[in-house]
Structures are given as structure tokens and as C-alpha cells.
Amino acid sequence: MTVRTRFAPSPTGYLHVGGARTALFSYLFARKHGGQFVLRIEDTDLERSTAESVNAIMEGMTWMGLDYDEGPFYQTQRFEHYHAAIQELMDKGLAYRCDCSKERLERLRDKQMAAKVKPRYDGHCRGRQVDPDAPHVIRFSNPVDGAVIVDDMIRGRVAFANSELDDLIIRRSDGSPTYNLTVVVDDADMGITHVVRGDDHLNNTPRQINILKALGKEPPRYAHVPMILGSDGSPLSKRHGAVSVVAYRDMGYLPEALLNYLVRLGWSHGDQEMFSLEEMIALFDIGDVNKAASTFDTDKLDWLNQHYIQHGDPAHIARLLSPHMGQIGIDPATGPDLVDVVAAQGARAKTLKELAEISAFCYRDFEAFDEAAAKKHLRPAAREPLQRMRAGLEMLALEDWEPETLHHVVERVAAELELNMGKVAQPLRVAVVGRAASPGIDITLQLVGKEATLRRIDKALAFIAEREAAAS
């Protein structure tokens, strides 16, 4: 048997991180077993489904590297398959027309609620002859005896009594098929062998199995993944912060960091924290997924993202960083090589967005000095070290503007003034960067370049003079 899994989102919004984790687990299961991963777009909700949402889903999957083998298949293009399946059930006597009014159904529900009985349809129209030209729905004739046993790959064996399942609607009065019918037909037609999905679908599973059997189809194996919770214990939602995959991309997270974080939400392999996609495929076992819900921890994601920024291939990080530089109005081609910036700054940022912001000084002059840094380091005592540094740096040829040579200039000025290196390097750093934190002073000067360095030292000297004049 060739394993075939699917990811079947509804295009009514962004790709939620919960959906992304489900897609990842489904993808890993298929890849581990040499199978196929299918993308299906469940777009039968015509009022809420949008092309923008489809694009957002596919954009998120592409960014994460979850490549699918078949699809995307759109349910709105498969209505003839659903109507054929409904007709087959009707011909077999396993589905029937129902013309119960909304008022009757509400009275039935109120009566059941008052009697503390689980509300469900009472089969009133089973065996009745309903005029096909009158308004009606079509219901599936669910078995009334026995039980449906779901051997869930995560939750284990779960039993559902058929007496607890009502005759669900499979075609609405407007002629459109319902979710439980379309999913069954699609899974059967597409040869899906294993369904990995959120555990909010567990109660749909016995109904879908009964429909599959009524159509003479073999049900797939199911794995219901527990939900992701926010920090307050409620289902993860917008009120907890970003929940869209594309939003995390735009906030400066790396795809490998988000994938690594999502795979560890409910699954583990010993004490290992870091996994490449290849390792995930080799080690992932759906049976090892925890039955309990997982809590989304942004601090842990930040830690992982910083690790990948710091230890990833600088050229790869630079490619992902480039659009974030553009977002703050910087063309990376106008300054130092972005790979060199990543190598120098990677350990200082949790996200690519933060990395872009703290690296802006390499490409453009800052507007103002950090107030605390200037107060501490741009004092009258810093004037002479800055003047001597300017003179020494101005004498360097452009081809000598290298870290080793720049470091020697700082050392020489410090020795001449009988100061420790910090008394020279820190005022120089604030003068050139605008704040007290940056890479080593030699690397910083190299990234900023000769012309900008001299210009910014002049700005710092003017700042010191203005402060002195104001104080006198």
C-alpha cells in the first residue's frame, strides 16, 4: 500500500499555525513512508472562501518548504462527484429526503434539551415520501445499531455508539453538499490512506466512516492531533498575538525555526531540540504525538529563531534578511555585503526584522545619538580620542580599510593617550553607530566604511562642542 496523506484547509482566512502543524505532521508521515502528500482546498463555503486566502495558504506552505505532490484540488470543481455519491446513497436506500421545517426541528431540540437528552434528529422523515420538487434536504441514514470503532493513531481506540449519531444532512436545501459528504468522497476518490487532522474533527470521524462504508469504500486510518493553546489555556487565537504563518514570516522568523518549533509542539525525540527537515522525516512517528494539548510559547520560538540566525549559513540568512532591509527603506546593494553583516550581527538579534533594524547603521546615517550612550561616552574627555582616531583613520587608504589595520589604529591611539582600549573604542562606537552596542569596533568600522565613519566622527565632535557650549 502506498501511503497517501492530505492537507485540506478551508480558504476563509490565513494559514493558522495550528493548521501548519497539522500540514507538517501529515507531510512528515507521507515522506517517512515514501508516500504522497496531497493539497486539497475545501472551498465550498462560497460566501467566506476567497482567492486571497487560497494564495495565503499556498504562500505559507511554500515558505515553510512543505511541497505537495498532487493538487491543489478545489472542491468547487468537484460538485458532480458529490452529487453522484448522494444519488448512489439514495439509490441504495441509505439516504432520504427530509422536509422538516425549522420550527419542527427547534421544537424537537427544545423538548430534548428539557429532558436532558442529547439533541439529535429523530428520523421523522425516514420512510416518508417527500415531494422532490418541494423544499427539502437530504439526510444520510446512519445505522441505528452497533458502534463505530476508530483506531486512532494518536488517541488509540475510540468507540462511538451509532445510537448517539443522528441522520446528518448531506445535501442542503439549496442543493449544495455538506462538509462530511464532500470530505468522504474526496478522500475516497483521491485514495487517501491516512488522515492527519485536528482533534476538533474527531466527532465527525464515525459519521464519515459510516458514509464511506455505505459507499463501499475502505476508510483511511485517522490521527487526530490535539489543539494548540495560548498562554491562558484557551485555544490559540489572535488575542494571543500572531497566529498566521505569513505573519511570522513578516515578523522576521525563519521557516526552519518555525518548522522546528511546530514539530516539537506535541512530539519529541529524546532530548533533541534541533531538527533539520531531513531529520524530522527520518525520526517522526505519528504514534509518538502527545494526546494532550500543547501551549504555544513565543519565548521558546524566539530562542530557536535566534539560534538559527546565529548558526545558520550566512548566505541563506542574508537572502531572507534582504526584504526586511527593504521594509525599512534600505537597499542592501548600497553598502556592505549583507552576508558580512549577518556574520557580524547574527548573534545580536532574535528575528530578521530586529537584525535589519540594528544593522541599519551600516547603510545610512542615524538621526540622533542614543541619549544614555551619548551622555556616558560623548563627553569632553572623548574629544581628543575621537580627533586622533579621525586623523589616523583618514590616513588609511581604502584598500587598507580592513579589521586588522583598523584595530591597530585604535590600539595606537589608546597607547598614545595612555588609555585602555574601552576609553577609545566606546566613544568611537557611539560616534559611528549612535549607540553603545555593536560588533567589535574593527568590524563595525569596516562595515560602515571610511567616508561614513569620518562623517559621523565629525558629527560626534560637533555634538560634544554643542553640549559644552550649552553648559558654559
Which phi and psi angles does 407 have, rounded to 5°?
-65, -40
Instruction: Locate 323 and state its grid cell.
Output: 526584504
Strand ranges in 204-270 using DSSP code E only, listed in sequence order: 221-225, 228-229
Q: Is 380 helix (H, G, I), strand (E, B) or coil?
A: helix
Paired sense of beta strands 294-295 and 228-229, if any: parallel
Helix axes 205-214, 179-189, angle to 10 degrees: 60
Q: Which amino acid is at 384?
A: E
Measured CA to CA, the distance from residue 49 to residue 72 in angstroms comes to: 15
Task: Give the catalytic positions in this structure.
Answer: 238
- Alpha-carbon gap, residue 164 to 176, rounded angstroms: 26
Q: How many helices (H) and strands (E) does the chain have?
A: 19, 12
Report how far apart, in Å, the C-alpha atoms of 371 and of each of 166, 189, 374 are: 70, 67, 5
- Residue 72, preceding bond cis, omega within 30 degrees? yes
Cβ pair 178, 185 in contact under 8 A: no
What's the gap between Cα 23 and its chain centre? 11
b/e map 395-417, b = 16+ CB within 10 Å: ebeeeebebebbbebbeebbeee
